[in-house]
Amino acid sequence: MRLEVSIRKKLRSFELAAEFTVEDEVFALLGASGCGKSMTLKCIAGIERPDSGYIRLGDRVLFDSDRRINLPPQQRRVGYLFQNYALFPNMTIAQNIAFVASGSKAEKQRKVAENVKRFSLEGLENAYPAALSGGQQQRAAFARILAAEAELLMLDEPFSALDSYLKWKLERELMQVLGQYHGAALLVSHDRGEVYRLSDRIAVMQHGQIDAVNTKHELFENPRTLAGTLLTGCKNVSPARRTGANELLAEEWGLTLRTAQPVPEKLCYVGFRAHYFELMEGPGENVFAMEVVQVIEDTFSYLVMVRLADTDFAPLRWELDKPDWLAVSRQRFYLRLPPEKLILMDS
């Protein structure tokens, strides 16, 4: 099932301009809160009306401003998991699921039973949403979406209200569901790990604009933009300027760095992920004498803030396993920034 989206909508602080195509895949919108991700889903679902543009699902036109087409939500055949689940409070879980299922009474009962079992809701069929925990409500919402046999699945921050254990359990369940679902699915999240594990392609969204669309591997290996770099979790970012075909100056760190790839003429920033540092015995290419500014103990690692020795430049974050840091445990050492691991950004 192919989804085509090209819409614009004026919001309070910016204009939403979303343009992308989704095939039979999991396509993620990754962005900070308030950037327009959820509004995009609401426009596709028919809950909000774009100011202009079109939305097509397969051979059906869901919205077209020029042709004055705007199908109501119930005709779009889109399964939408809201952040607050949106279960009908006056219906039991079984009734919520049966409400969206098509077919005869027997077929509806079969679909209810299948999805109750799939999402481990046995014994809760006759309970009302208010009597369920947040995780149980979310599983019921998933069950209702799949019983509707929607042509498009849309998941808006699907795990935001769950504790870490239940989140991991439901995420694995969702992986199986999406693997069996032969259609397009949209995932909205600000959690980079969640997006990486669940999606095939990722669109980075910033202030209502699609910043970049890449496969998940391309995005995390070479984000190319500041927004993409920050959203993929890079903690070390510095303004930078080009000083040669394969050389740059990271201005906040005071480091002149060789690069594996050509430096863009309009280079703006350089990034380096905290776990890519290499401990060295002495000077060399992209090797610098560093001093420790601060050591922060995390759950399973140490976050060591280091800077160019004997300077006041901004520190960088080095993350390493606890045994590895305890083996170093000194105030000065040489660190290498591998040229192939530098992230170059021109916007």
Based on the fold, state whether residues 198 and 277 are members of the same structural domain.
no
Residue 227 domain-assigned?
no
Based on the fold, state whether residues 167 and 72 are members of the same structural domain.
yes
Based on the fold, state whether residues 215 and 279 are members of the same structural domain.
no
Q: Look up residue 55 and give its two tokens.
A: 């939305």
Q: What pLDDT band is residue 136 in, cutting at 50, 70 and 90?
A: confident
Based on the fold, state whether residues 23 and 135 are members of the same structural domain.
yes
More confident residue, 137 or 250: 250
Question: What is the C-alpha separation between 265 and 240, in angstroms, rounded?
Answer: 11
**Each residue of 148-180: pLDDT tens digit?**
888 899 998 887 767 777 788 778 877 877 777
Coil, strand, or helix at residue 160? Answer: coil
More confident residue, 139 or 55: 55
Q: How many domains does the chain have?
A: 2
Residue 250 has pLDDT above 90, yes or no: yes
Q: Please name the residues in contact with 40: beta carbons below 8 A apart, sequence gap of 6 or more.
A: 5, 7, 16, 18, 29, 188, 205
**Each residue of 67-78: pLDDT tens digit?**
999 999 989 999
User: Taking Cα atoms as reference points, which of 57, 123, 61 lies closest to residue 92?
Assistant: 123
Residue 188 has pLDDT above 70, yes or no: yes
Based on the fold, state whether residues 202 and 254 are members of the same structural domain.
no
Alpha helices per DSSP H over the chain:
37-45, 93-100, 105-118, 134-147, 164-180, 192-198, 216-221, 226-231, 322-328
User: Scanning the structure block, which residue is given the tokens 């192919």?
Assistant: 2
Q: Read off the pLDDT of each residue in 91-108 and give the average, rounded to a whole number.
A: 93
Based on the fold, state whether residues 243 and 319 are members of the same structural domain.
yes
pTM: 0.84
* pLDDT of amino acid 246: 98
**Of the ranges 114-123, 147-156, 243-252, the best mean pLDDT one:** 243-252
Q: What percent of the chain has pLDDT over 90?
A: 74
Average pLDDT, the chain: 92
In angstroms, what CA-CA distances link 28 with 62, 293, 330, 341?
20, 37, 42, 25
Q: Read off the pLDDT of each residue in 77-83 and give the average, rounded to a whole number.
A: 84
Question: What is the C-alpha separation between 253 and 316, in angstroms, rounded?
Answer: 7
Domain that holds residue 169: 3-222
Residue 229 domain-assigned?
no
**Each residue of 285-308: pLDDT tens digit?**
999 999 999 999 999 999 999 999
Q: Read off the pLDDT of each residue in 88-105 and give the average, rounded to a whole number.
A: 93
Based on the fold, state whether residues 327 and 251 are members of the same structural domain.
yes
Based on the fold, state whether residues 207 and 323 are members of the same structural domain.
no
Phi then psi dihedrals of residue 319, to 5 deg: -115, 130
Residue 237 has pLDDT above 70, yes or no: yes
Q: Look up residue 277 and give its two tokens.
A: 């540092």
* pLDDT of amino acid 92: 96
For the chain, give the longest Cα–Cα distance.
Answer: 77
Based on the fold, state whether residues 176 and 27 are members of the same structural domain.
yes
* pLDDT of amino acid 161: 64
Based on the fold, state whether residues 200 and 288 are members of the same structural domain.
no
DSSP 284: B
* pLDDT of amino acid 84: 73
Question: What is the C-alpha separation between 65 and 60, in angstroms, rounded?
Answer: 15
Residue 94 has pLDDT above 70, yes or no: yes
- Sheet strands side by side (includes 287-297): 278-280, 332-336, 287-297, 301-308, 316-321
